[in-house]
């Protein structure tokens, strides 16, 4: 829940935003406009996305905040009713977080890319976290059945 609430600091700082959007959730502000104008040559990001400082952008912090709070609610329900072994909720959390963050990072424009592949380093890390969580859950499930 702390992560979900903590993301609102990104709103205060007008950071952690994505590409332009026509979504009802789009946000805009002077800090965002200045960032786009000052950091992207010809308003084109390193990944080739053209940014228009006059249009709203995806509020990635909001998406992550909602994802984290929803994850907390679902994991709390699961923990109370279905938890089978120690560490299961942690493994589910990192799987949940990695999956959500992978898609959210796909919207971001301020990413470190792997060469000219268009793949963000953060997305690779998120997939590794997700897969690690899945592997841990499978191993934990097998171990709990063996006991």
DSSP secondary structure letter of residue 41: G
Residue 11, token pair as written in the block: 């709103």
Give the tens place of pLDDT for each residue, 123-142. Answer: 999 999 999 999 999 999 88
> For the segment 56-84, what is each residue's pLDDT rounded down to a tens digit?
999 999 999 999 999 999 999 999 999 99
The structure tokens 């609610």 sit at 73
Q: Is 24 exposed, middle or buried (0-12, 13-18, 19+ CB in 10 A)?
A: exposed
Among 58, 121, 67, residue whose Cα is nearest residue 49: 58
């Amino acid at each position: 829940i702390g992560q979900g609430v903590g993301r609102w600091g990104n709103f205060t700082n007008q950071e952690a935003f994505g590409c332009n959007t026509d979504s009802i959730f789009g946000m805009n502000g002077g800090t965002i406009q200045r960032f786009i104008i000052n950091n992207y040559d010809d308003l084109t990001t390193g990944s080739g996305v053209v940014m228009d400082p006059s249009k709203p952008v995806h509020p990635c912090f909001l998406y992550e905040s909602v994802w984290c709070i929803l994850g907390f609610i679902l994991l709390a329900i699961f923990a109370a009713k279905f938890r089978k072994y120690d560490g299961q909720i942690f493994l589910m959390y990192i799987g949940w977080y990695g999956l959500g963050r992978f898609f959210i990072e796909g919207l971001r424009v301020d990413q470190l890319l792997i060469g000219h592949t268009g793949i963000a380093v953060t997305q690779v890390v998120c997939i590794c976290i997700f897969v690690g969580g899945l592997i841990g859950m499978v191993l934990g499930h097998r171990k709990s059945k063996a006991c």
